[in-house]
C-alpha cells in the first residue's frame, strides 16, 4: 500500500503521514465548521487561529474532509482553501461518507465523520467548538455525533454541547450511550457560549497531563468510546445563559416557521443565533474554537510524551 494511504479510500496528508510514522502529536479537526458553521471570511480566520494554537502547543493540525473520492486526514493548504467558499462543500456525517466518496466532490466532515477518520488513521485527539446534541421539542432532532462518540475511541476537546440544544437531555443521552464527560477545571457541563449549564459533571481533570492519562487509561481498558474533554469558554467572552437560551428559542421558532430540519438545522440555528446576539456569538465561537484547539494540542503532546516514556 502506498505511503500515506490507510485504505483504498482513506489517505493521510504528507505532513500528517510523517507525523504518524514518527509518533509526533497530531490533532484532527472537522471541516464542517469551515464549510457550513462559519461565514466567510470568518472561516478563514478560524483556520488560522485553530492551526496556530495547535502548532503553538507543539502538535500538528490535521483537517479532515472528503476530496476526490477519498477521506483525507490532513488537508494541504490548497486542498483546504475551497472549503472556505460558501456552498462549495457538502456537509458529511459519518453515515454519509460512502456516498460522498462516490460523488467525488468536496465533503466537509462533521464531528462524527472526523473522529471516525481520526481513529482509523491512528490519531487519538480531536478538537471542535461544541458538539451536536438533543434538540428541544416534542420530536427532537438528535445529532449523529452522539452515537459515533459512543463507538469511536479517542478524546475530543469541546465546549460542551452547542447552545442550540438541550444540555440536560444531551448529557443524559451521552450517559446512556456510555460516553465519559470530563470537565476541564470545572464541575458543571460547559454550554458552548455560556460558561456552564446546570448539569453537574461526575468527573473532572485540571491539567493536559491528567486528560492524557485518562485517554491512556481508556485505550488500555478498550472502552471503545470517546472521552469528551469539556473546556469552558473564557470568562471574558462568556455570555449570560438566560440570554443565550432566549436567543436560541427565538432561533428555534424561526426554524420551525421556515420548516428547517435535518442536516440544515444546526447551521441555520447558529446563523440565527449570531443575528440574535448582534454578532457576539460569532466572536465567542471563534475564541472558543481557538482555545479548544490549543488545549487539544497540549493534550496530544502530553499523550505522545507519555506513550514514548511508557
Measured distance CA(64)–CA(49) in Å, rounded? 17
SS3 94: helix
For cell 462533521, what's the residue? 110
Catalytic residue among 70, 91, 148, 162: 162
**Are residues 125 and 299 in contact, defined by beta-carbon separation less than 8 angstroms?**
yes
DSSP-derived letter for residue 61 is E
Rounded-to-integer distance, Cα 126 and Cα 114, Å: 8
User: What is the C-alpha to C-alpha distance for residues 134 and 173, in angstroms, rounded to an integer?
Assistant: 8
Q: Is 30 a catalytic residue?
A: yes
The one catalytic residue among 30, 196, 276, 290: 30
**Best CA proximity match to 104, nearest among 92, 117, 87, 122:** 92
Length of the chain, in residues = 310
Active site residue 91: no
Residues labelled catalytic: 30, 162
Amino acid at each position: 500500500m502506498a505511503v500515506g494511504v490507510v485504505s483504498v479510500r482513506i489517505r493521510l496528508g504528507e505532513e500528517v503521514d510523517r507525523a504518524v510514522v514518527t509518533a509526533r502529536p497530531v490533532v484532527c479537526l472537522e471541516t464542517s465548521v469551515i464549510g457550513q458553521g462559519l461565514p466567510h471570511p470568518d472561516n478563514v480566520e478560524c483556520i488560522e487561529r485553530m492551526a496556530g494554537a495547535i502548532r503553538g502547543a507543539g502538535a500538528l493540525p490535521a483537517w479532515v474532509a472528503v476530496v476526490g473520492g477519498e477521506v483525507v486526514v490532513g488537508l494541504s493548504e490548497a486542498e483546504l482553501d475551497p472549503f472556505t467558499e460558501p456552498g462549495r462543500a457538502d456537509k458529511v456525517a459519518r453515515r454519509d461518507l460512502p456516498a460522498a466518496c462516490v460523488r467525488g466532490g468536496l465533503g466537509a466532515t462533521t464531528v462524527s465523520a472526523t473522529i471516525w477518520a481520526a481513529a482509523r488513521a491512528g490519531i487519538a485527539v480531536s478538537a471542535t467548538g461544541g458538539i451536536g446534541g438533543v434538540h428541544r421539542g416534542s420530536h427532537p432532532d438528535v445529532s449523529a455525533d452522539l452515537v459515533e462518540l459512543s463507538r469511536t475511541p479517542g478524546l475530543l476537546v469541546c465546549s460542551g454541547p452547542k447552545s442550540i440544544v438541550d444540555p440536560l437531555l444531551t448529557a443524559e443521552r451521552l450517559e446512556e450511550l456510555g460516553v465519559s464527560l470530563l470537565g476541564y477545571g470545572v464541575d458543571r457541563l460547559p454550554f458552548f457560549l455560556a460558561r456552564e449549564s446546570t448539569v453537574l459533571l461526575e468527573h473532572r481533570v485540571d491539567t493536559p497531563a491528567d486528560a492524557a492519562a485518562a485517554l491512556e487509561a481508556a485505550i488500555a481498558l478498550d472502552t471503545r468510546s470517546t472521552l469528551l474533554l469539556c473546556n469552558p469558554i473564557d470568562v471574558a467572552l462568556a455570555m449570560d445563559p438566560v440570554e443565550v437560551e432566549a436567543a436560541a428559542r427565538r432561533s428555534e421558532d424561526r426554524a420551525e416557521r421556515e420548516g428547517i430540519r435535518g442536516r440544515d438545522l444546526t447551521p441555520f440555528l447558529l446563523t440565527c443565533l449570531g443575528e440574535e446576539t448582534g454578532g457576539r456569538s460569532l466572536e465567542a465561537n471563534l475564541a472558543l474554537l481557538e482555545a479548544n484547539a490549543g488545549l487539544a494540542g497540549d493534550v496530544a503532546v502530553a499523550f505522545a510524551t507519555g506513550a514514548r516514556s511508557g
